[in-house]
Structure 1
Amino acid sequence: MIEQLCSPSLAQLLKTLTHHSTRPNHLEVKGLPLYMLCLRNKVAIFATALLLLCVILPAFAQVPASSHVILVIEENRSYSTVTNSGDSTNFMPWLINEGNTYGHATAYTTDSGGSLLDYLWLSSGSCHANSTDCSPSSLPAGTNNFGCNGGGCANTITDDNIFRELNSRGISWKLYAESLPSVGFMGSASSDGLYVKRHNPAAWYSDIVNSATQQQKMVPFTQFATDLANNTLPQYSIIVPNLQHDAHDGTPAAADAWLQSNVAPVLNQSYFQTGGTGLLLITFDNGDGDVPGQVYTAVIGPTVVKGTASSTPYKHENALRTILDALQVSTHPGASANVSAMNDFFCGTCTPPPPPSGGDANLDDNTWTPAASATNVTAPALDGASTRFDFTSTVPFDTQRWTQQTTNTFAGNSQLAMDVWVYLTNSSAPQALNFNAHQIVNGQEYPFMLECDFKGTGVWRVWNPGTGGWTNSTLGCAAFTANSWNHFVFHFERTAGNQLHYQDIVINGTTYNLDLFTNSIANTSANSMTAEIHLVGDSVPDPYSIWIDQMRIMAVSANIDDGSWAPCASPLCSPAVNNVASPSQDGGSTQFTAGGTTTFQTAQWSTTPSGMNTSATQFTLDFWAYMNNPTVSQALNFQVNQVTGGHQYPFMVECDFKATKLWRVWDPGTGGWQNTSIGCAVFTANSWNHFTFRFERTSDNRLHYRDMVINNAVYNFDIFKSSIANSGAASVTMKIELVEDGVPDSYSLWIDKLSLGDI
């Protein structure tokens, strides 16, 4: 059940942590795993609350446990060679597409010149050679010189290695070598010369050399298809293509075709599908000419954050550490003991980037009333400064409150949102927590109050000012995970009939609908907006604290997709079609179709959202996107264009599928695109993807591309660009662009639940 409700990596991580932890108090509630709910005096498993627990689990920087890890080693080709789409002989389209879809490393370099030495780095974290044949000149701690070079070793290696560690733990492994003459073959080469021992790392370690049983784990590659068909692949597989198919003697294009025919079928196995834990790494021993340098390394599997393009410097010992961690091996041979695993492929960017300090964009950094028990601190914090609120009352069921009035009254905005990150210690202590945006507008009072009632009803509930009491929702509220950050966005609106409409709650990227209405009450005080935090003690109150960070209240222009869009000239642009029932997220999406016949033409639609604050400094663009034929698109881009104070701020973000295969942002100063390091994979056809982009214009008139969130994974941009002069009237407009590729064909994009928030 948990795999159906959580993302695959989080589901596995929950299970792994609760099963293997030596600190159960941090992973269990009343003795039950975290992915079950424990309410006082009873256990209840609610689907919604189970989802809550899945999404509020902190972003652990670790490699998820894997049932099947596969390493494929290619030969002697540099990163720039195999990624050059203009060279059909050397380009590897299948590999690059898989790396863009899942993840790839953009700063992965090899260790030593000479094939065998790099295979040893991948197996024991050392080259086991002298300073002439090995780089670095000094061997990693705990490893020794066995006279190895690129072609072989003078002595059998007796140092620790991955095969020894797997054997000692009963973890199965095999090495599948193409053109290996027979099972357990220990000779230097096959008679046809296509298999060479220097490309077989297992054959050099004493654990295999001295054991006929272990030698039986080195098998011809033909066995791979048999094991795959019989579902008997070991937990760790090494795949070694022959010299024609590993790009050593043959071309990279031929190596790529071999991968697609022989390795790609493993991705159809259940452990490589959603909910599975399979992990496939494909790398190269060295760059062009067998010289150490940058090589392409793909990290593939359902637990990988899709679209990751890691710019972290990695080497073969990092790959070895990643493999060991995935197999849950706690002993790390050689250099792998002192390097990190390639964690960023599995957690994305684990914390959001820092927003501007203070003001309505960061309410937590301002002064709260009462100030004595609201303390600005530097840790824990997401942006270097959070505020700690301390509950200290000894009175049963007492409530302690803190308030702060915002600069903006939002009197002209009916659609609003509160965005806040929350960190809680002693999660068993609170009776309830509530978060409030208390607004007075034109003689009416709208106290938007949402409470997580941990110990009373066990659900989220909203305040009804008309009755002076709480209205329960159907959304379960489980105790927060202690000592972790959780992200909440509350959407609400004032209706034309002066009601409060509680629309939904977004918890760590997952939306839960409320759709509850209550009546406002009369209040003739001046227009205002007040943020409030309430902490409630239980029947036997214990002291506890919560930390708040990156808190803001913002105006939202919602369901922009349902409005009118002005298209470019036909036949390139068809008119936007509103209220499409299927596909849709909310019962009515808008379809945009590009149908030109000219190569690389751009189809464009524009709209002016109503109710926008044209002088806003902070923008959050949020929407769902669906494509029917994504492989024919050259690129998609999404724009928020602001004109204010004599300057123009064209915030433009593009997914460039086929040229750079990266996300890129617009630089109005140069009139061109700047690439980010974030890979942009072709969208999965006929499926919904959720995007959030955050921008700001700075006090010195620059555009700041802050970050984006794709299907709940956060990716930092943190890119600044200069604005351009524009003396036109203040405005905020939006555009969507679909770009045709070199062989133009018709395709459609559906957009739903498009909103633009501003401060």
Structure 2
Amino acid sequence: MQRFAGCLIASVLLAASIAGFAQKIAVNPLAPIRAVPSVVATDIPRYDHVVIVIMENTSDSTIIGNTAQAPYINTLAMMGAVFSDSHAITHPSEPNYLALFSGSTQGLSDDSCPHTFTGLNLGSQLIAAGFTFQGFSESMPSNGYTICTSGTYARKHNPWVNFSSGTNSVPSTSNLTFAAFPSGATPDFSTLPTLSFVVPNLCNDMHDCSIATGDAWLHTHIDPYLQWARSHNSLLILTWDEDDSTTSANQIPTMFVGAHVRNATFSEHIDHYSVLRTLEDMFGLSAIGGAVNATPITDTWNIFADGFE
């Protein structure tokens, strides 16, 4: 009888203890519910929107720390992940755009145009996997345009146009003028595709005009997206095609800014193939071309940043 009474008392005390603990951890029904970003196996966040902006022919040492000519870009550098050992693949421009987009220079060693390629590429991969892709080119005369040059527009900087036939083709509806990029007083960036390439014209990308001109263009046209991205599970990647010399170093500025990005400088060696591999891993795509042997970037992410807990 004493043993039964003792067990009964212990059971009552245990139940009371559990009830008290449950009360402490009970969810407040009035508390806001915070979304949790999707994460792939490598802990790379799966973003709702990624915008990649490619600038032209400028070395890392010319941009990073140059607050006189590039104040906005250096502000971005203070907000996100900066890669201090980032490199292009080759010279001149066009093969680098192709490398970032398709994992291959496609055998090019010049800026010739036009070309038609049929291999795998990031745009066709995304579309085949149920995601969306669009390229926005400033000063391109019209959507779906395929002519090599027009004023300050150059198709050589627009790699997706070269993949226009075969099973890996990118539809012409993905080839848009920059006028289609959300803008105005209340731009709706939620209408952007999963992944976008943004290519400024030959002046605003620093190819023909000054660093200050390109910096001001980024501030005006890209900063609204960046400010939105930081609280909307979205990412900005800012990079350059190649540096401004013909040396083998070919060191370029590259930075990731947006939600879930650690604010720091990262010293690992990366190149266009590393960025492509990171994007492919982000969306669960197979690595292609030079991205197969590239190491994805996994140390820059903080999935609990920006209020995500």
Structure 1 residue 185 corresponds to structure 2 residue 183: no
Structure 1 or 2: larger helix share? 2
Residue pairs, 1:122-137, within 5 angstroms? 122-129=100-107
Partner of residue 332, structure 1? 287
Residue pairs, 1:201-350, within 5 angstroms? 201-207=159-165, 214-226=171-183, 229-230=187-188, 231-269=190-228, 271-273=229-231, 276-289=232-245, 293-306=250-263, 308-326=264-282, 328-346=283-301
Aligned mates of 1:116, 1:291 — CA distance in 2:
17
Partner of residue 10, structure 2? none
Residue 85 of structure 1: how far off its partner (Å): 2.8
Percent identity (aligned)? 28
Larger Rg: 1
How big is each residue's C-alpha offset from its partner over 1:370-417, in whole Å with a ceiling of 9 and x where there is no partner? xxxxxxxxxxxxxxxxxxxxxxxxxxxxxxxxxxxxxxxxxxxxxxxx
Residue 114 of structure 1: how far off its partner (Å): 1.0
Amino acid at match of 2:217: W
Aligned mates of 1:117, 1:209 — CA distance in 2:
22
Aligned mates of 2:54, 2:207 — CA distance in 1:
11
Aligned mates of 2:265, 2:259 — CA distance in 1:
16
Residues 71 and 291 of structure 1: CA distance in aligned 2, closer, same or farther (over 3 Å): farther
SS of residue paired to 2:54: strand
Partner of residue 89, structure 2? 111
Aligned mates of 1:153, 1:198 — CA distance in 2:
7
Aligned mates of 2:26, 2:226 — CA distance in 1:
33
Partner of residue 596, structure 1? none
How big is each residue's C-alpha offset from its partner over 1:116-140, in whole Å with a ceiling of 9 and x where there is no partner? 10001101111111xxxxxxxxxxx
SS of residue paired to 2:237: strand
Identify unmatched segments of 5+ residues in structure 1: 1-38, 49-59, 130-147, 349-759
Aligned residues: 270
Higher RCO (C-alpha 8 Å, min separation 6): 2
Residue pairs, 1:16-55, within 5 angstroms? 46=26
Residues 252 and 244 of structure 1: CA distance in aligned 2, closer, same or farther (over 3 Å): same
How big is each residue's C-alpha offset from its partner over 1:257-292, in whole Å with a ceiling of 9 and x where there is no partner? 1000000000232x421xx32111000000014655
Residue 84 of structure 1: how far off its partner (Å): 4.4
Residue pairs, 1:722-737, within 5 angstroms? none
SS of residue paired to 1:184: coil
Contact 1:110 1:316 in 2 (8 A): yes
Contact 1:61 1:344 in 2 (8 A): no
SS of residue paired to 1:180: coil
Residue 151 of structure 1: how far off its partner (Å): 1.0
Contact 2:239 2:253 in 1 (8 A): yes
Residue 169 of structure 1: how far off its partner (Å): 1.5
Aligned mates of 2:246, 2:201 — CA distance in 1:
16
Amino acid at match of 1:199: H
Residues 317 and 279 of structure 1: CA distance in aligned 2, closer, same or farther (over 3 Å): same
Residues 46 and 291 of structure 1: CA distance in aligned 2, closer, same or farther (over 3 Å): farther
Structure 1 residue 120 corresponds to structure 2 residue 98: yes
Task: Identify which of 35, 41, 47 aligns with 1:66.
Answer: 47
Aligned mates of 2:220, 2:174 — CA distance in 1:
23
Contact 1:209 1:215 in 2 (8 A): no
Task: Identify which of 124, 127, 136 aligns with 1:164.
Answer: 124
Aligned mates of 2:83, 2:262 — CA distance in 1:
13
Partner of residue 99, structure 1? 77
SS of residue paired to 2:51: strand
Contact 1:115 1:290 in 2 (8 A): no
Q: TM-score, normalised by structure 1?
A: 0.33
Identify unmatched segments of 5+ residues in structure 2: 1-17, 29-40, 304-309
Amino acid at match of 1:70: V
Aligned mates of 2:82, 2:64 — CA distance in 1:
12
Aligned mates of 1:257, 1:209 — CA distance in 2:
40
Over the aligned positions, Cα root-mean-square deviation in angstroms equals: 2.9
Q: For structure 1, which segment, 199-208 or 245-254, has the greater mean C-alpha deviation from structure 2 after superposition?
A: 199-208
Residues 159 and 291 of structure 1: CA distance in aligned 2, closer, same or farther (over 3 Å): farther
Residue pairs, 1:698-713, within 5 angstroms? none
Contact 1:221 1:239 in 2 (8 A): yes
Structure 1 or 2: larger strand share? 1
Residues 238 and 203 of structure 1: CA distance in aligned 2, closer, same or farther (over 3 Å): same
Partner of residue 85, structure 1? 66
Contact 2:226 2:235 in 1 (8 A): no
Deviating above 6 A after TM superposition, structure 1's stretches of 4 or more consecutive aligned residues are 208-211
Aligned mates of 1:182, 1:153 — CA distance in 2:
18
Residues 210 and 108 of structure 1: CA distance in aligned 2, closer, same or farther (over 3 Å): closer
Partner of residue 200, structure 1? 158
Residues 208 and 67 of structure 1: CA distance in aligned 2, closer, same or farther (over 3 Å): farther
SS of residue paired to 1:101: coil
Residue 229 of structure 1: how far off its partner (Å): 2.0
Contact 2:114 2:148 in 1 (8 A): no
Partner of residue 145, structure 1? none
How big is each residue's C-alpha offset from its partner over 1:687-736, in whole Å with a ceiling of 9 and x where there is no partner? xxxxxxxxxxxxxxxxxxxxxxxxxxxxxxxxxxxxxxxxxxxxxxxxxx
